[in-house]
Amino acid sequence: MSTPTHFKSGREGRGAAFVADHHGSEHARFMRLTSYALAPLGILAVWYLAGVVGLSADGVRAAIGRPFPALTLIAFGVIGMIHAREGMNEIILDYVHDPALKDKALRANQWAARAIAALWTLALMLIAAPR
């Protein structure tokens, strides 16, 4: 036996604007996966960067010039920027209400993340390049 209620789910009428479109679950899953990747990469990146403290420039080149440390640092930078970009996208979507400004902010965020990831990769490649 059920009793009728006057509860409106919000899927129609005035409450429709407050119903989740389930976009957040995909975003949360993506952020969780990139976090899982960033945890060991972050530990390795700190390990490698702490290991080059006090070395000469040639010593840093030799340490980072090996394939595994270089690829680890590049992966950490690129995945970190993807993670940061997605987080910033959610902040922009939540708090910027003007559609034109929102579009500009999302584009600027995307290009800034690409530029930072590219500069990170280029810098590591220049450091690791043999002389």
Asked if the structure places residue 7 within a domain, the reply is no
Is the per-residue pLDDT at 7 higher than 70? Answer: no
| pLDDT tens digits, 8-53 | 555 566 655 555 555 567 888 899 999 999 999 999 999 999 999 9
Asked if the structure places residue 6 within a domain, the reply is no
Asked if the structure places residue 9 within a domain, the reply is no
Asked if the structure places residue 37 within a domain, the reply is yes
Residue numbers of the domain that contains 29: 24-128
Asked if the structure places residue 74 within a domain, the reply is yes
Residue 130: per-residue pLDDT:
78
Asked if the structure places residue 34 within a domain, the reply is yes
Q: What pTM does this model have?
A: 0.77
Look at the chain and report how many structural domains it folds into: 1
Asked if the structure places residue 87 within a domain, the reply is yes
Using alpha carbons only, how large is the chain's radius of gyration in Å? 22
Q: Cα dist. 10→16, 18, 25, 48 in Å?
A: 5, 7, 19, 52
**Cβ contacts of residue 49 below 8 Å, gap of 6+?**
73
| pLDDT tens digits, 53-111 | 999 989 999 999 899 999 999 999 999 999 999 999 999 998 999 999 999 999 999 99
d(CA 50, CA 89): 32
d(CA 65, CA 48): 11
Asked if the structure places residue 5 within a domain, the reply is no
Once rounded to an integer, what is the mean pLDDT over residues 108-115? 97
